[in-house]
A and B are shown apart, each in its own frame.
Chain A
Amino acid sequence: MVQPTTDQKTNKAGLSRMDYKGTPSTLCLGCGHNAVAAQIVSACYEMDLIPEKVMKFSGIGCSSKSPTYFLNRSFSFNGVHGRMPSLALGASFADVTVKSIGISGDGDTASIGFGQFKHLVRRNLSMMYLVENNGIYALTKGQFSATSEQHLALRRQGINPFTPIDICMEALVSNATFVARSFAGDPKQLKELIKAAFKHKGIAVLDVISPCVTFHNQESSIHSYVGGKEHEVALQEISFVPAREEITVEDFEEGDTREIVMFDGSAIVLKKLDKDYDPTDRWQAMHKLEEAQKKGWLLTGLLFVDEHSPDLFDVYQMPATPLNRTPNEELRPSRDSIDEINKMMF
């Protein structure tokens, strides 16, 4: 295992960038998912995370392979197709001090796992749920997914007759407390959104348009690098400011910025490009997504955030100490209780 060495640059946790790396990617060269993994590594390094305080989850598909490519020192569970949410939810109760990262894809989330995705959102587990959305089934070599654009032509499939599912819209209508979209070709924004999503208290849905260079990189599509860049409309310029750091707004014009303070005291500073957009207004977020869909934009940025709703562990009033370290004597009722129980069995 990798140990920090003195000649390497380290963060406040005393760890080097190497401590956040995974094994080398086995995905295609240029795959958007590799860019996402790289930004997760950077974000975790910059946030001074302890890798042992993170768990990784995924389902099945190219996206779901990617937890291998970051945070080797974190526990990880690669579940069955579309059913990573239930796995993560069950595991999360074991130790509330360990935070989860879930990586899914458009097939995993918007098709087979649609129900589990929405129920995870509804339960508001504190977890970063990142969808690497390439609008295609890639590991099975190029079939339409539920997020493929209507009229998309694929060599062996013909033309897609159906309208796509918008993962952010689905998250919003299920009362997600953090909804953002980013683009693998926009690493700066992606990294800041990853930090914000990780720090969010509650479910953070981050839909990342992540081009598949092998099966779906048609320039006309927003799921491609060229098409994505051409059609990207960013709502804000985003900076994540860790807790206890002075927030300096000198880079931003007065009146154009908005600061969203997170549960742990850190903040998302948004330089608003769309001056009227309020990311705490769910209705406006849905309206904006509707507009983007009509105009063919790849709308990116923080669509919606609510830092005040109780998360799953609030609902369960979970103690701060890890449940999986409960000593055996606290798990088995006392010997004399059995007589009382027997008296009640009648």
Chain B
Amino acid sequence: MSTQKAQKIVNDFVITFSTINGSGSATANNTLLRALFKMGIPVSGKNIFPSNIQGLPTWYSIRVSKQGYTARLAMDDIVVAMNPVTVARELKYILPNGVLFYADHIQLPEGRSDVTKYPMPVQAIVKEAAVPSELRDYISNMVYVGVLSHILGISLEDIRGSLEFHFKGKQKPIQSNFSIVEKAAKWAEQNLTKRDPYTVSPLHKTADCIMSDGNVAGALGSLYGGLQFTAWYPITPASSLSESIIEWAPVLRKDPKTGKSNVVVVQSEDELAAIGMAIGAGWAGLRSMTSTSGPGLSLMTEYLGLAYYSEVPVVIWDVQRVGPSTGLPTRTAQGDITSTYFMSHGDTQFVMLFPGSVNECFQFGWQALDIAERLQTPVMVMIDLDLGMNQWMTKKFEYPTTPMDRGKILWEEGLQKMLDKRDGDWGRYLDIDGDGIAYRTVPGNQHPQSAYFNRGTGHNEYAKYSEEPEVWERVMNRIAKKFETVKKYLPKSSISHMQDARNGIIAYGSTDPAVEEARDRLKKQGILTDYLRIRSVPFGKEVEKFISDHKKCFVVEMNRDGQMKQLLCANYPDHANHLVKTCHLDGLPLTAQWIYDQVSFEGK
């Protein structure tokens, strides 16, 4: 025992749960995740699931990290095997001298004598409990919660606390689940001897943090941003964003007069209609958004071209998954970067925001609505399945720091003042302030001169149909000017330096934790890096400076073709030779190890 104590590994390991889709394992996994978080230990959870409702293998990994690292690791320290079909595969992913917990009805393959193996009498414990037979499968996962709690040292009180939260205080399910946990923990106490080094111990590192996923955060941020209308069509991995609006709107946005939520939600017949509705609402003066993923965004592109050209504010969340085509619908990617940048036919531009954490999903949720109305254009918020659907430890949400910005909108009085000041000269697309942004009116305005004809066909400054060559060019150039003006409203890149670093890393979105961890590891090897995290497109001046200041910039991203690198090359051709394509896509979140390998190989 004494030698094992010397090797004790505290608060620094990965557990992967291998279960069968639809068996209710999410409850068990979330229960453990929450209990660890409650103990003050930094955690992250990642669900690797199939496009299936019931029956196929599914994995859930919890990373426990005293340093606060939340990126995915490729290998497991501990595996909990509940699925006989995949156990041979799981054994291969266990690190040397790791641990396997397995349901004792599973026949283990030969080999891996280095691994400590703990059986769990899942069927016996469930059978013993007075649980209705139809609930047995769901509740059987609580056996590993109990066994693991005992072996790793998670207090049962914390487990109970997370069950209380999960079942919103409903005693019946709490009790039936908790009774299994208790039985299993007791069984472990009486029958298992701890032979592995892994253990947890309370820390105080989660006090300023919350646990949430990006889709919930995006929904909440939008509600704090005054969202009034959303139309959506179900698609993995974006659905839970709209569903969270449905869940939270009645809580946060109850109209004091009517007692009802003042947010309209429409489930449309497809994405073609979702974007049409969202654009209609945005045009008519509502704060409007939709959320989708790659295939849906492909369908929305024609309407978004019209919104760009006729200058309609609308927000679109793209929770990216692996494409092209149906691709890997339940796996993560950053693969819609170039297609969104160049979306729709003709000359177009789109504002893109890249939240890099769940906290930023909240922040960009309200900011996106402000930017869309300020600029009168579609704003794309680009996240991915990993950020959108997985549970992340993140900083507490902060109340919006600036008042709501409704942009240049004229109601009756404002329009009259404008007309008086300018001898009656107002046009919907007239650049009065010289910043490229015109003043708009919206339906319902009762001023007899407020109305205009919104069209995707050529139009002049007064919204009149025009095919005049110089009018077309003038209007398009004026629209382009807006995208210079917008830069002061966009979130700037976040930059962190290491003294004497010659090389840089450029990344965006969900890869941030893997990049930060890789930089720490590189530093230990004497490889110093500066880091720029892109938070918006069009790029700010700081991006060009960062690229020109560094001999090599590794553009880290989750796609095959280096899409952000392509955009950077197109924007800064003079510095293109500084940029190093550093991309990888297999459907799984990037690991720090992979980034480390690329940068240490090239970056010395």
Chain B neighbourhood of A316, CB < 8 A: 264
From residue A145, how far is it (CB to closest CB) to chain B in Å? Answer: 20
- Whether B448 contacts A93 by the Cβ 8 Å rule is no
Q: Which residues of chain B in 270-299 are interfacial with respect to chain A, using CB atoms and an 8 Å cutoff?
A: 270, 272-288
Chain A neighbourhood of B284, CB < 8 A: 55, 75, 90-95, 324
Q: Which residue of B lies closest to A56 (CB)?
A: B453
B140 CB-CB contact with A under 8 Å: no
A332 CB-CB contact with B under 8 Å: yes
Q: Which residues of chain A in 295-337 are interfacial with respect to chain B, using CB atoms and an 8 Å cutoff?
A: 316-319, 322-326, 328, 330-333, 335, 337
- Whether B165 contacts A346 by the Cβ 8 Å rule is yes
- Whether B397 contacts A1 by the Cβ 8 Å rule is no
- Whether A75 contacts B451 by the Cβ 8 Å rule is yes
- Whether A98 contacts B255 by the Cβ 8 Å rule is no
Q: Which of A37-45, A79-87, A216-224, A270-278 contacts B (4 or more CB under 8 A)?
A: A79-87
- Whether B211 contacts A91 by the Cβ 8 Å rule is no
B220 CB-CB contact with A under 8 Å: yes
Asked if A86 meets B277 with Cβ closer than 8 Å, knowing A55-B443, A94-B284, A325-B444, the reply is: yes
Q: Which of B173-181, B221-229, B494-502, B544-552 contacts A (4 or more CB under 8 A)?
A: B221-229
A210 CB-CB contact with B under 8 Å: no
From residue A337, how far is it (CB to closest CB) to chain B in Å? Answer: 6
- Whether A346 contacts B211 by the Cβ 8 Å rule is yes
Q: Which residue of A lies closest to B255 (CB)?
A: A330
Complex: A52 Cα to B445 Cα, angstroms: 7
Q: Which residue of A lies closest to B248 (CB)?
A: A341
- Whether B444 contacts A90 by the Cβ 8 Å rule is no
Chain B neighbourhood of A119, CB < 8 A: 268-269, 273
Q: Which residue of A lies closest to B452 (CB)?
A: A75
- Tell which of A76, A80, A325 touches B303, judged by Cβ atoms closer than 8 Å: A80
Complex: A51 Cα to B449 Cα, angstroms: 11
Complex: A116 Cα to B277 Cα, angstroms: 11
Complex: A51 Cα to B447 Cα, angstroms: 10
- Whether B262 contacts A87 by the Cβ 8 Å rule is no
- Whether B286 contacts A324 by the Cβ 8 Å rule is yes
- Whether A337 contacts B262 by the Cβ 8 Å rule is no
From residue B126, how far is it (CB to closest CB) to chain A in Å? Answer: 28
From residue B183, how far is it (CB to closest CB) to chain A in Å? Answer: 26
B567 CB-CB contact with A under 8 Å: no
From residue A10, how far is it (CB to closest CB) to chain B in Å? Answer: 14
- Whether A83 contacts B450 by the Cβ 8 Å rule is no
- Whether A78 contacts B453 by the Cβ 8 Å rule is yes
Chain B neighbourhood of A98, CB < 8 A: 443-444
Q: Which residue of A lies closest to B165 (CB)?
A: A346
Chain A neighbourhood of B465, CB < 8 A: 68
Looking at B283, B303, B441, which has the most chain A CB atoms within 10 Å of its CB?
A: B283
Interface residues on B, range: 35 or more
Q: Which residue of B lies closest to A113 (CB)?
A: B272
- Whether A333 contacts B223 by the Cβ 8 Å rule is yes
Asked if A87 meets B457 with Cβ closer than 8 Å, knowing A331-B262, A338-B398, A341-B397, the reply is: no
Q: Which residues of chain A in 111-128 are interfacial with respect to chain B, using CB atoms and an 8 Å cutoff?
A: 115-116, 119
Chain B neighbourhood of A323, CB < 8 A: 228-229, 262, 264, 286
Chain A neighbourhood of B456, CB < 8 A: 78-80
Chain B neighbourhood of A115, CB < 8 A: 269-270, 272-273
From residue B571, how far is it (CB to closest CB) to chain A in Å? Answer: 30
Q: Which residue of B lies closest to A67 (CB)?
A: B453
- Tell which of A52, A77, A86, A326 touches B272, judged by Cβ atoms closer than 8 Å: A86
Chain B neighbourhood of A330, CB < 8 A: 255-256, 262
- Whether A86 contacts B268 by the Cβ 8 Å rule is yes
Chain B neighbourhood of A88, CB < 8 A: 280
Chain B neighbourhood of A89, CB < 8 A: 266, 276-277, 280
- Tell which of A67, A80, A325, A335 touches B306, judged by Cβ atoms closer than 8 Å: A80
Q: Which residue of B lies closest to A74 (CB)?
A: B451
- Tell which of B224, B264, B272 touches A116, judged by Cβ atoms closer than 8 Å: B272
- Whether B286 contacts A116 by the Cβ 8 Å rule is no
Q: Which residue of B lies closest to A89 (CB)?
A: B277
- Whether A68 contacts B277 by the Cβ 8 Å rule is no
A5 CB-CB contact with B under 8 Å: no
A140 CB-CB contact with B under 8 Å: no
Chain A neighbourhood of B404, CB < 8 A: 328, 331-332
Q: Which residue of B lies closest to A346 (CB)?
A: B211
Complex: A86 Cα to B455 Cα, angstroms: 15
- Whether B272 contacts A90 by the Cβ 8 Å rule is no
Q: Which residue of A lies closest to B252 (CB)?
A: A333
From residue A74, how far is it (CB to closest CB) to chain B in Å? Answer: 6
From residue A37, how far is it (CB to closest CB) to chain B in Å? Answer: 14
Chain B neighbourhood of A94, CB < 8 A: 229, 281, 284-286, 442-444
B7 CB-CB contact with A under 8 Å: no
Complex: A72 Cα to B448 Cα, angstroms: 10
Chain A neighbourhood of B273, CB < 8 A: 83, 85-86, 115-116, 119
Report B's interface with A, CB cutoff 8 A: 34, 37-38, 162, 165, 210-212, 216, 220, 223-229, 231, 252-253, 255-258, 260, 262, 264, 266, 268-270, 272-288, 302-303, 306, 396-400, 403-404, 406, 411, 441-457, 465
Question: Can you give 27 contacting A-B residue pairs, CB < 8 Å?
Answer: A72-B451, A75-B445, A77-B453, A78-B454, A78-B455, A80-B303, A80-B456, A86-B231, A86-B275, A90-B231, A90-B279, A90-B282, A91-B280, A93-B281, A94-B229, A94-B281, A94-B284, A95-B444, A115-B269, A116-B273, A119-B268, A323-B286, A328-B226, A331-B253, A331-B404, A338-B224, A341-B252
Report A's interface with B, CB cutoff 8 A: 1, 3, 50-52, 55, 67-68, 72-80, 83-95, 97-98, 115-116, 119, 316-319, 322-326, 328, 330-333, 335, 337-338, 341-342, 345-346
Smallest CB-CB A-B distances: 8 pairs: A86-B276, A90-B280, A331-B226, A94-B284, A90-B277, A324-B285, A95-B444, A345-B210
